[in-house]
Amino acid sequence: MADSWEDEEFDLPSSVPPTAVPVSWEDEEEDQEDAGAVAPGLAPKMSAAKAAKTAAEKDARIAAELETRLQLGETAEQRRLRERNRVEEADNDLTEDLFGGGGARGQGAGGGLSGLALKNMQDHVKLAIELAERMDSSKPAHMTAFLKELVTKLSPKMTADGLTDLVNHTTMFRDEKRQAEERIASAKANKTNVIANQRANKKKSIKKKKAHSDVFGGDFDGDGIDTVGMDYESKYDDFM
């Protein structure tokens, strides 16, 4: 009797599915890149080189703004003094680099306001610019409190001319701000008046249509005769 494969039952051994073969080397490279990607919310810290570059760009921007601020309303004598101070500071920095002196840089290494070296006008204006940027998102009431406290603490050491200059400077910005607010308020008032006039005209139109309809019937579009039609004349004759 011949053996038949169909009559026999075989238990197939369990097997592990074959490993999928990548379609191309490019897919394998993409998988490796995905594996090395940083998960959201786990961004690496800024590198030292990038942080130094960012700080250098900020210093350059502040220096350019500082130069512009110092040149506003500057007299010839003040300009000569500023340029001379700049040359002296450059010489001092060069000396410190050559001989390893600490100087102002050593004072600034401590961090915080206590470590700042305020030797000249440039240092003070630079500090003001940095503080203004730091308070860019502060509320107006908080900035007002800050400035009031600052003036209160510094006014005893300031001269009358310096305080007058400060008052004039502040008054200029106050007037500009007030004019801008008045323009905004005027625009809002004009818009409100236009809307009110439109509503009043609409009410008058509705009232006229109702009065015309009560007397003569039909709609009133301003001319009256066209909308009422031929029936208008007969009703008018009866009315007379």
pTM reported for the whole predicted model: 0.41
Structural domain contains residue 39: no
Structural domain contains residue 22: no
Structural domain contains residue 202: no
How many domains does the structure of the chain reveal? 1
Structural domain contains residue 181: no
**Measured distance CA(220)–CA(181) in Å, rounded:** 45
Structural domain contains residue 85: yes
Structural domain contains residue 165: no
Q: Is 182 helix (H, G, I), strand (E, B) or coil?
A: helix
**Rounded mean pLDDT for each run of 10 residues along the chain, 240 residues in total:** 50 51 50 50 64 75 70 69 69 61 46 71 84 90 93 93 92 92 86 81 78 64 47 51
Checking 190-193 for CB contacts under 8 A at 24+ apart, the result is: none
The amino acid at 107: Q
Structural domain contains residue 45: no
Q: What is the pLDDT of residue 98?
A: 59
Q: What is the pLDDT of residue 44?
A: 54
Q: What is the pLDDT of residue 90?
A: 66
What residues make up the domain containing 108? Answer: 62-136
Q: What is the pLDDT of residue 42?
A: 47
Q: What is the pLDDT of residue 9?
A: 53
How distant is the alpha carbon of residue 70 from its chain centre?
A: 26
Residue 56 phi, psi dihedral angles, 5° rounding: -65, -40
H helix runs in 100-159, sequence order: 103-108, 121-134, 140-154
Q: What is the pLDDT of residue 193?
A: 79
Q: CA separation (Å) from 144 to 135, 141, 150, 169, 170?
A: 11, 5, 10, 15, 12
Q: What is the pLDDT of residue 204?
A: 77
**Measured distance CA(232)–CA(240) in Å, rounded:** 12
Structural domain contains residue 79: yes
